[in-house]
Structure 1
Amino acid sequence: MKLLGIWIVTLFVKLCFSVNSGSQPNIILILADDMGYGDLASYGHPTQEFGPIDEIAQLGLRFTQAYSADSVCSPSRASLLTGRLPIRTGAWGNDFRVWLTNCSRGLPHWEITIAEALKEKGYTTGMVGKWHLGINRYTYNDFTYIPSTQGFDFVGHMIPFGGSYSCEETGRYGNQTQTSCALMYGDEIIQQPYYHENLSIAFVEDALTFIRNSKERPFFFYYAAMHPHIPMFSSRRFKGSSNRGVYGDVINELSWEVQSIVDEVRAQGIEHNTLIVFMSDNGPQLEYCIEGGDPGIFRGGKTNSFEGGYRVPLITYWPGVIEPGVSHEIFSALDLLPTFIDLAGGRLADDREYDGMNNVNALLGKGPSSRDFVMFYNRDVLFAVRFGDYKVHFLTQDDRPVQYFGRLCQPFVYPMTTSYYCDENNVSLECVDYHDPPLIFELLSDPTESFPLDSTLYKELLDDIETLIEQHEETIIRAPPLMDDVLNNTYPCCNPLTNCICNWP
């Protein structure tokens, strides 16, 4: 009878919270920063400690063919939140690939974020952590583009820009630059420059408070972690906790952050109506040597269109709905917005084109992916396309292996290269190769993109991809680049009278 009772309860949970039940699940999106595909024990790292993220991967669904929307931070995050490629939103630039702290532009307000879309369905929305989608428009404190202007009801501790060695407070990498290093709470700068050690603790405390205060109605929470982006930092509890060194310490702290959120969901009794998604925004930046992360077996890393720049960890967890397992279905970060809207019982706006697809069956492990292709852009130029199991490169960037950088690594000095700005507009850098006919790789047998196929044997495939690209380009209304407009008077500043230095209690 006891087993029968357990079976009945389990069946009840599945019926009540199935995809078609009409219930609105809570949604928590946890985004790692620059985490490589091979950085976790559950994704094959040989020395990284097995931690809570890996436990969630065992209890939930671990994806092997998930892709970020871009290979650098700002365009990737803009696309993740809008379901639209950077070429449509303006999240690109000819001079810069991310929004700098003194840029006078940001994610346009007419774009609909996940938060705004879910608010329309009655969700409470919140976020903490790294934003990197613009700050000011005209002055040092108009805060035109911060999260509260993009649909987030609650904004806790928030870094409007992102991680940078210019914010590293120990002096190992030079002097700290406060203009790039502001910590906000809500709509106010509370520390400039900020201190890293307790950042993750502050983010977690905000997240737990939000969950407790929002549990009575559907909520969406965006936890944008600072880990494992440079500079490496962790609280005292995790310093020296990893055999892998400082990078492993950071992964262990990030794993604790995830565990804290999951534990709170369980403590509030809402785990059977809460979808938790863990993902990385792009691949690792290999030029940072031992602090640069691990793309696993994949070629390339952050900034380029090889698999190492786009292929990222993705884990979904929803007890009673998602069965534990491993998914080999293709999923893109672009698909999160359409999928979340479907789960909330909403519809996509019909006044714009979306690149994301409603991929709910793949995300929940209930069926095949809605997606059989992935577009790989650098700024506004299409470099490559994945179509089925094939990857076709029209342009490739310099993708020196980590061993190359290793020969140049020195204490506190990293061999930064031009790869961050490497595209077809910078051919003088001699870092872009054009391929006509294009390079073709079969990713199932050759995931490292090492053995190009004979293009003369794949004419039908190339014709199909050409048709796909033509159909795609017919939908494109190219947005102007919004990352190139920089003004010195738009640097965020807590108080000009104190030279933008403050530390409010």
Structure 2
Amino acid sequence: MNLKQLLLIFSVTSILWVSCTSISKKEETPKRPNIVIIFLDDSGYSDFSPFGQKKIQTPNVQSLADEGVMFRNFYVPQAVCSASRSALLSGCYPGRTKVFGAHGPNEKGLDPKFPTMGEVFQKAGYQTAIFGKWHCGDLDETRPHNRGFSESCGLMYSNDMWKHHPENPDYWGKFPIKFWENGKIIIDDVDYEHQEMLTKWYTEHAVDFINRHKDEPFLLYVPHSMPHVPIFCSPEFEGKSGVGLYGDVMLELDWSVGEINKALKQNGIDENTIVIFSSDNGPWISYGNHAGTTPYREAKGTTFDGGTRSATIIKYPTQLKGKQESEHAIMTIDLLPTLCHICGVPLPESEIDGKNVWDIITDKKGAVNPHDYYAFTNDKNFEAVMSSDGKWKLHLPHNYRTMTDIIGKDGMPGKYDYSAKIELSLFDMVNDSYETTNVINKHPEVAEKLMDFAQMHKAKFFSE
């Protein structure tokens, strides 16, 4: 054998060795976890069977709870659409981003200087998608296709901001609500027949996305338009609940959860996928039989727990044991840094308010919430703080809305009383989660500590 032949054999052997080593390393390197976030709109805490629903069966949400952990004390920092969604995606309090309330058509929304979860994970190599209601900006630079989501479809804002609004049709009729897909308008003027299909369309897009990206890490965000009024379901679910349209809507949302969960299992990626199921805030109770239910005080549009506490399930089979319940307090602002930690994704360079609470989620022995407090706002008003262990909540003096005897029915809203007031009040959330009894005189030292946190938060975000 001559030298040329020896060199050829050596070269081929080296290539084969490198190739085999590369394959071996690839097989040894675990795929980064996938993330699925299902975020409902105005869903009540008690709308699904794991959290107290008795009138209708929601087997798919029940299965999700059986496979994951139910969080009884999961909060949003503001109980209104845009503020809540922007906090989830940016990891920031509304006081930092200045996204308060519910933004309408053609509004800027979340400033691009605050990176979204989509941008953070897309930069790290994740496939990203949003199928559902965006409501974080309706200008080109703030729509989802320019905010880190490679695939998208849905509405840019709430489905009641349209020509059939029950109280202001002339005003909202000036802004035809559009259905977008991947940065292009697919439907120029959404009408009744389109609203009926929203839940189904979002679900079909989500399942298709999972099927196509099963072999690569992905972030899938499914913020449903329902059950925000006006409520609709596809023809397949009409009348199926036996308790009215709201029940039918719940059945279809439960079906959607089942379809997404099934797609993960059929593609063999269920074990390596983090699924988070929650709602942007509590129910819009002025709509009566078209609204969900909550056992807690008040509802959407307030800083009481009826507005800010959302029934939540987190499922991650390889890390979280199923059929568990957690009483730990956590907030949506914590999801971005926690998911970054789990997935090995760098945090955004800009400052955020959320913290990694993975030890709290996994109930690690001795784990302590890294926050000093959680803060709650209503529109631009800073109104309450809670101790990070969820034991105490201090309401600053403020006005709030509460229902009158005029309750809404069949899509028409009832009447609020906006003159209700609460004085400086401390609530023991362990023994009085319904915020009924002010115990500030019994625990002045607790109130003083929370007031210090409130002053710090106010100085940081509301000093202008």
TM range (shorter): 0.7 to 0.9
Work out which of the residue numbers 123, 131, 149 in structure 2 matches 1:152. 149
One-letter amino acid of the structure 2 residue matched with residue 392 of structure 1: L
Q: Deviations over 1:364-404 (max 9, x none)?
A: 44454524632111233320111241111113433435xx4
Cα offset for 1:168? 5.1
The equivalent of 1:492 in structure 2 is: none
Cα offset for 1:317? 1.1
Higher relative contact order structure (alpha carbons within 8 Å, sequence separation ≥ 6): 1
One-letter amino acid of the structure 1 residue matched with residue 93 of structure 2: L
Matched, 1:451 2:437: yes
Cα offset for 1:172? 12
The equivalent of 1:359 in structure 2 is: 357
2:229 aligns to what SS in structure 1? coil
Cα offset for 1:145? 1.5
Are 2:287 and 2:410, in contact at CA under 8 Å, matched by a contact in 1? no
Q: Which moved more, 1:45-54 or 1:213-222?
A: 45-54
Matched, 1:383 2:369: no
> How many Å separate the matches in 1 of 2:164 and 2:246?
15
Are 1:323 and 1:365, in contact at CA under 8 Å, matched by a contact in 2? no
1:28 aligns to what SS in structure 2? strand
User: CA distance change for structure 1 residues 418 and 55 in 2, over 3 Å: closer, same or farther?
Assistant: same
Q: Percent of pairs identical after alignment? A: 27
Are 1:39 and 1:45, in contact at CA under 8 Å, matched by a contact in 2? yes
Work out which of the residue numbers 292, 298, 313 in structure 2 matches 1:315. 313
The equivalent of 1:135 in structure 2 is: 138
> How many Å separate the matches in 1 of 2:149 and 2:31?
22
User: CA distance change for structure 1 residues 369 and 124 in 2, over 3 Å: closer, same or farther?
Assistant: farther
Matched, 1:275 2:279: no
The equivalent of 2:427 in structure 1 is: 441
Are 2:43 and 2:292, in contact at CA under 8 Å, matched by a contact in 1? yes
Cα offset for 1:244? 2.5
One-letter amino acid of the structure 2 residue matched with residue 321 of structure 1: Q
The equivalent of 1:163 in structure 2 is: 159
Q: With structure 1 as the length reference, what TM-score do the two structures score?
A: 0.79
Cα offset for 1:110? 0.9
Choose 1 or 2 for highest CA Rg: 2
> How many Å separate the matches in 2 of 1:101 and 1:241?
34
One-letter amino acid of the structure 1 residue matched with residue 443 of structure 2: Y
1:130 aligns to what SS in structure 2? coil
> How many Å separate the matches in 2 of 1:450 and 1:385?
16
1:240 aligns to what SS in structure 2? coil
2:47 aligns to what SS in structure 1? coil
Q: Deviations over 1:129-149 (max 9, x none)?
A: 10011112xxxxxx2311011
One-letter amino acid of the structure 1 residue matched with residue 317 of structure 2: P
Cα offset for 1:65? 0.6
Are 1:330 and 1:372, in contact at CA under 8 Å, matched by a contact in 2? no
Cα offset for 1:332? 0.5
Matched, 1:467 2:452: yes
Are 2:82 and 2:109, in contact at CA under 8 Å, matched by a contact in 1? no
Work out which of the residue numbers 107, 110, 135 in structure 2 matches 1:107. 110
Cα offset for 1:414? 2.0
User: CA distance change for structure 1 residues 51 and 369 in 2, over 3 Å: closer, same or farther?
Assistant: farther
Matched, 1:254 2:240: no
Q: Deviations over 1:409-459 (max 9, x none)?
A: 45553224375xxxxxxxxxx34x362xx2111111111111111x23322
Q: Which moved more, 1:125-134 or 1:407-416?
A: 407-416
Are 2:214 and 2:267, in contact at CA under 8 Å, matched by a contact in 1? yes
User: CA distance change for structure 1 residues 207 and 364 in 2, over 3 Å: closer, same or farther?
Assistant: farther
Q: With structure 2 as the length reference, what TM-score do the two structures score?
A: 0.86
Cα offset for 1:253? 0.3
1:270 aligns to what SS in structure 2? coil
User: CA distance change for structure 1 residues 408 and 120 in 2, over 3 Å: closer, same or farther?
Assistant: closer
One-letter amino acid of the structure 2 residue matched with residue 384 of structure 1: A
2:376 aligns to what SS in structure 1? strand
> How many Å separate the matches in 2 of 1:398 and 1:99?
20
Are 2:124 and 2:346, in contact at CA under 8 Å, matched by a contact in 1? no
The equivalent of 1:4 in structure 2 is: none
The equivalent of 2:7 in structure 1 is: none
Cα offset for 1:66? 0.6
User: CA distance change for structure 1 residues 190 and 127 in 2, over 3 Å: closer, same or farther?
Assistant: same
The equivalent of 1:6 in structure 2 is: none
Residue pairs, 1:17-416, within 5 angstroms: 24-92=32-100, 97-103=101-107, 105-136=108-139, 143-155=140-152, 157-164=153-160, 166=162, 177=173, 179-194=175-190, 195-295=194-294, 297-324=295-322, 325-352=324-351, 354-366=352-364, 368=367, 370=369, 371=371, 373-387=373-387, 388=389, 389-401=391-403, 404-405=404-405, 407-409=406-408, 412-416=411-415
1:289 aligns to what SS in structure 2? helix
Q: Deviations over 1:253-308 (max 9, x none)?
A: 0011111111011111111111110010001111011112111x200100001110
